[in-house]
Chains A and B, each alone.
Chain A
Amino acid sequence: MLLSRFWYLILALALGLFASGLYLAQTVYNRASRDSMEQALSADTQVVKWYLNDDARRRSSLLLKVCLDETIRKELHKASSKDEKVPQDVRDRTRAALRKLVDEMPAEYQFSSLFAIDQLGRVIGQVGFDQAAGIENFDMGGYAIVADALHGWVRDDAWVFDDRIYLVVARPVEVDTAQMPAGAVVGLRIVDTSYAKQLSKRSGATVGFFAGGTVKAKASPDGVSSTQLDTIVADIKNLAQDDTYKEKGTSKPKILMDDIGVIYSKIPGEAWDLGAGYVVGRSASVVKNPFDLLQLADAKEKKSQPWWIIALIVVLGAGLGLVFSLFEHTRPLRILKAEAERLAKGEIDMLQVSKFRGLYRKIASDLNDGTDKVAAKGGVPRKAADLESVLGPIPAQPEMSAFSFPVDGASPSTSGPLRVPPLRESAPKMPVQMPAPKPSPDSKPQMPAPKPDSPKMPAPKPADAMTPNLAPSEDDDDATVVSAVPPEILEASATGAHAAVEEAGEIAEWHNTFEEFLRTKKQCGEPTSGLTFEKFQVTLRKNREQLIAKTKCKRVKFTVYVKDGRAALKASPVR
């Protein structure tokens, strides 16, 4: 029972550990996934930053052709030499030249707008910025990037007009190296969806540009939805409280909606101070519950599992459980069943308690007690119990009650004298084996009366010799009560003839026991050569005397049984 219960406990613990492991795996997996996502976000942010820088340089290189254009240089020089109104023809020629140059640019790097600006900051010509077409004296000289270009610097910038983001590059237009630049050309690229797509395609990042608290453009690589960036709108306003973002221009990775991570970055330029920037996003592969982990595995991963180990664990677990069940449940039940069948057939008159363990032993003991009580009330008398059934398992020699006999070739140590363990005070009293008087149909079960036509008790067979109790003792309720003692017995007892009769009967019984002992030894594969009845009866007598001396019983009954694969004898005191 103990093993089974332990096995159930082990199984429960294993199940608990398995569940705990799954939950732990979910937590660890989600954390690892988020860590990985944050690293990827940092990498994406860096990639987008590099892309913007590289893109600005490429575009400024494209402006070189504009700056070197003869028409542009000439017309800007003319405009810069006049503080008064710029002639319209100068503006027209400049605009035409710009248009031609813009058209010649590769589509990927084409500017949204291109401006030619004189030394005073006046826009002499422009294409692509139609909203300024009707403005007289449209001026751009106050912007730092334009001032830089007019003073001989090449750089980039980012503007925000009406919540639209423009990436800007500017170069000086030089006519004479001894003079200030004649003007500058400024190229604008509006950040729209096409630009975001281009950036995303090149960088592999999901990116969105925001200004004025809303996302202006977003895109993601093929196979990835950019809708994950829709959730950032509510979060953009929180950037004002993000110290890292305000100071360094890049936020720490932020987790939105459990599985979407983003990093916000400011765009260098005037946009830096205008709350414009870009955001990169990635979704972490998180699982909602432990069982989702199983769905993450693909067929290949499932196939690569060490199935033989898993099968071995299952087989071993089930096997151990079955073994424990057989050992602790099925086997004792079968023993009980077999013993009960033997009891029912009359092969035994009581269950051998030592054959059982645990609860079954208690059951067997209780059954025996019950049987005894039934017998005491007139049931069928029982054969004498052996010592082991009363006292429990008898220790091995020399402590065991069972004893063996010296045989040729056997070790002397195995043929020591029988030692009978002292009787436990709690041990039940031994029922006396008595010849069962045939009860008359009308006789009372408690007190079978002798037959009227046979007043004399027939002489008992030697094997059934007994020391009769003429009257039941007060402390022996289970003893069979005999109504009368035959006079022959009383006479024999008085004259000593009864002792001779009893001795003769005992010798005859020992012969039977000897024969059974030899037969049992042979069945057990033990040697029997050298074992004679003379030696056998000497040993029995010796042990009988010892047992009688110890237990004060009238006589001793020996029975043969098999213990640990060897034939052994049990000495049963008979009172």
Chain B
Amino acid sequence: MAQHLSPRSPGRLLRAALWGIVLLVPGVALAATVKGQVKGHNELINPVWEESARPDTNRYTWREPSPTVRSDYRRLFGLAPKELCIAGVSKNKVEPPKVPILVLVGGGRTTPVTLVVAPGTRLRFRNNDPFKHRLYAVNEASFSPADIAMAAERDWTAPGPGTYELRDELAPSLRSWIVVKEGVASIGYPNRQGQFFLTLEPGEYQLEYFFAGKPIGTPRPVSVGGQDLDITREPIQVALPKDKNASGDAEKK
């Protein structure tokens, strides 16, 4: 079974890479598109930004709210198109894609920030900044700190299932998570309104949601047939409003 990425992911290079994966994987012609909707994603607080806002982290000399911006917006929720990863997970074993998944490094983060992949998936990190980066995986010897020059790339394959946190020695705000999980067939990212698309071959899947390397919400089972599937009528609650604990069971009512 092939792994597919949502075409809604921003960035032309990234989209081209994703389409390349789709075209190169056999059997994609039989795949169907699952169209979905998440809600509550603006309640997911980015842990890096939140931590940076604390005075004890010494990240600023002063920080003040703009009085004309509503307090709802002053909460440091993450940017879902880069940070909320939706994965279609099969019960069957999934072969990793034959081409590496491109991860752009730049702007104080990676794109995407959270990435869920099947074991053995090769990742390719490309420096999109005009200065070097020095990525490494926390407590993981297979991805030790090494410089990536401007426009240079560095490949890495996670050694096995688990969650890997990536950091940059030269950019403290850069923190990414690679979730390696058996059966990941396809991943996608919602747009700012919460809509997402997944391309899946016919079969039984669980839709799982990951934010900052952690699973959030309640997985939703979907059965993909030969045709596209629209599940937007039943939006997926990934976080409750004002819920500081985003990893809680959002759909529990």
What is A's interface to B at a CB cutoff of 8 Å? Answer: 49, 52-53, 56-57, 83, 85, 119-121, 129, 131-132, 135-148, 151-157, 160-162, 171-172, 174, 177-181, 249, 266, 268-270, 272-274
How far apart are the CA atoms of A162 and B48 in the complex, in Å? 22
Q: What would 5 more interface pairs be, CB under 8 Å, given A135-B128, A174-B68, A249-B58?
A: A120-B79, A144-B52, A145-B59, A155-B64, A266-B58
Within 8 A of A (CB), among B57-90: 57-66, 68-70, 73-77, 79, 81-82
Residues of A contacting B61 in the complex (Cβ-Cβ under 8 angstroms): 49, 52-53, 56, 156, 268-269
Q: Check if A177 sits within 8 Å of B70, measured CB to CB.
A: yes
**In-complex Cβ contact of A162 among B59, B104, B132 (8 A):** B132
Q: Check if B46 sits within 8 Å of A147, measured CB to CB.
A: yes
Q: How many Å from the CB of B62 to the closest CB on chain A?
A: 6
- Known A83-B191, A152-B73, A178-B70: A157·B172 in contact at CB below 8 Å: no
**B12 close to chain A: CB less than 8 A:** yes
**In-complex Cβ contact of A139 among B60, B65, B107, B131 (8 A):** B107
A-B pair number, CB within 8 angstroms: 157
Q: Check if B73 sits within 8 Å of A161, measured CB to CB.
A: no
How far apart are the CA atoms of A126 and B161 in the complex, in Å? 42
Residues of B contacting A249 in the complex (Cβ-Cβ under 8 angstroms): 58
- B4-39 interface code vs A (CB 8 A; 1 in, 0 out): 000010111100000000000000000000000000
Q: Check if B108 sits within 8 Å of A154, measured CB to CB.
A: no
Q: Check if A157 sits within 8 Å of B191, measured CB to CB.
A: no
How far apart are the CA atoms of A455 and B84 in the complex, in Å? 160
Q: How many Å from the CB of A498 to the closest CB on chain B?
A: 128
Q: Check if B60 sits within 8 Å of A156, measured CB to CB.
A: yes
Residues of A contacting B53 in the complex (Cβ-Cβ under 8 angstroms): 144, 148, 153
**In-complex Cβ contact of A121 among B13, B77, B79 (8 A):** B79
Q: Check if B128 sits within 8 Å of A274, measured CB to CB.
A: no
Q: How many Å from the CB of B216 to the closest CB on chain A?
A: 19
Q: Check if A154 sits within 8 Å of B173, measured CB to CB.
A: no
How far apart are the CA atoms of A270 and B167 in the complex, in Å? 14
| 11 CB-based A-B contacts, threshold 8 Å | A56-B62, A83-B10, A137-B11, A144-B173, A148-B52, A148-B76, A153-B65, A157-B59, A178-B70, A266-B58, A270-B172
Residues of A contacting B172 in the complex (Cβ-Cβ under 8 angstroms): 270, 273-274
Residues of B contacting A268 in the complex (Cβ-Cβ under 8 angstroms): 58-61
Residues of A contacting B74 in the complex (Cβ-Cβ under 8 angstroms): 151-153
- Known A147-B49, A178-B70, A270-B172: A141·B12 in contact at CB below 8 Å: no
Residues of B contacting A121 in the complex (Cβ-Cβ under 8 angstroms): 79, 107
Residues of B contacting A136 in the complex (Cβ-Cβ under 8 angstroms): 12-13
- Known A142-B107, A146-B108: A137·B12 in contact at CB below 8 Å: yes
Q: How many Å from the CB of B145 to the closest CB on chain A?
A: 13
Q: Check if A270 sits within 8 Å of B59, measured CB to CB.
A: yes
How far apart are the CA atoms of A32 and B173 in the complex, in Å? 45
Chain B, interface size category, equals: 35 or more
Residue of B nearest to A57 (CB): B62
Residue of B nearest to A67 (CB): B66
Residue of A nearest to B175 (CB): A142
Residues of A contacting B82 in the complex (Cβ-Cβ under 8 angstroms): 141
How far apart are the CA atoms of A140 and B104 in the complex, in Å? 12
Q: Check if A131 sits within 8 Å of B130, measured CB to CB.
A: yes
Q: Check if A171 sits within 8 Å of B66, measured CB to CB.
A: yes
Residues of A contacting B111 in the complex (Cβ-Cβ under 8 angstroms): 139
**B192 close to chain A: CB less than 8 A:** yes
- B130-165 interface code vs A (CB 8 A; 1 in, 0 out): 111000000000000000000000000000000000
**B231 close to chain A: CB less than 8 A:** no
- B108-134 interface code vs A (CB 8 A; 1 in, 0 out): 111101000000000000001111100
Q: Check if B81 sits within 8 Å of A83, measured CB to CB.
A: yes
How far apart are the CA atoms of A171 and B65 in the complex, in Å? 10
How far apart are the CA atoms of A436 and B23 in the complex, in Å? 158
How far apart are the CA atoms of A142 and B12 in the complex, in Å? 18
Q: Check if B106 sits within 8 Å of A174, measured CB to CB.
A: no
How far apart are the CA atoms of A43 and B171 in the complex, in Å? 31
**B174 close to chain A: CB less than 8 A:** yes
Residues of A contacting B173 in the complex (Cβ-Cβ under 8 angstroms): 142-144, 270
How far apart are the CA atoms of A179 and B129 in the complex, in Å? 30
Q: Check if B108 sits within 8 Å of A141, measured CB to CB.
A: yes
Residue of A nearest to B42 (CB): A180
**In-complex Cβ contact of B73 among A49, A53, A131, A151 (8 A):** A151
Residues of B contacting A129 in the complex (Cβ-Cβ under 8 angstroms): 130
The 9 closest A-B pairs by CB, nearest first: A142-B109, A152-B69, A142-B108, A139-B107, A144-B52, A143-B108, A155-B63, A131-B130, A152-B74
Q: Check if A83 sits within 8 Å of B192, measured CB to CB.
A: yes
Q: How many Å from the CB of B7 to the closest CB on chain A?
A: 11
Q: Check if B66 sits within 8 Å of A154, measured CB to CB.
A: yes
Q: Check if B79 sits within 8 Å of A151, measured CB to CB.
A: no
How far apart are the CA atoms of A120 and B107 in the complex, in Å? 11
Q: Check if A135 sits within 8 Å of B62, measured CB to CB.
A: no
Residues of A contacting B110 in the complex (Cβ-Cβ under 8 angstroms): 142
Residues of B contacting A56 in the complex (Cβ-Cβ under 8 angstroms): 61-62
Residue among B49, B61, B70, B173 with max Cβ neighbours from chain A (10 Å)? B61
How far apart are the CA atoms of A148 and B50 in the complex, in Å? 9
Q: Check if A157 sits within 8 Å of B106, measured CB to CB.
A: no
Q: Check if B62 sits within 8 Å of A137, measured CB to CB.
A: no
Residues of A contacting B63 in the complex (Cβ-Cβ under 8 angstroms): 148, 153-156
Residue of A nearest to B74 (CB): A152
Q: How many Å from the CB of B244 to the closest CB on chain A?
A: 16
How far apart are the CA atoms of A145 and B129 in the complex, in Å? 17
Q: Check if B73 sits within 8 Å of A180, measured CB to CB.
A: yes
How far apart are the CA atoms of A200 and B23 in the complex, in Å? 61
How far apart are the CA atoms of A458 and B225 in the complex, in Å? 180
How far apart are the CA atoms of A181 and B74 in the complex, in Å? 10
Residues of B contacting A151 in the complex (Cβ-Cβ under 8 angstroms): 69, 73-77
Residues of A contacting B129 in the complex (Cβ-Cβ under 8 angstroms): 132, 135, 161
Q: How many Å from the CB of B70 to the closest CB on chain A?
A: 7
Residues of A contacting B73 in the complex (Cβ-Cβ under 8 angstroms): 151-152, 179-181
Residue of B nearest to A145 (CB): B60
Q: Check if B70 sits within 8 Å of A155, measured CB to CB.
A: no
Q: Check if A174 sits within 8 Å of B131, measured CB to CB.
A: no
Q: Check if B58 sits within 8 Å of A272, measured CB to CB.
A: yes
How far apart are the CA atoms of A145 and B8 in the complex, in Å? 26
Residues of A contacting B104 in the complex (Cβ-Cβ under 8 angstroms): 137, 139
Q: Check if A147 sits within 8 Å of B76, measured CB to CB.
A: yes
Q: How many Å from the CB of A63 to the closest CB on chain B?
A: 11
Q: Check if B59 sits within 8 Å of A141, measured CB to CB.
A: no
Residues of B contacting A178 in the complex (Cβ-Cβ under 8 angstroms): 70
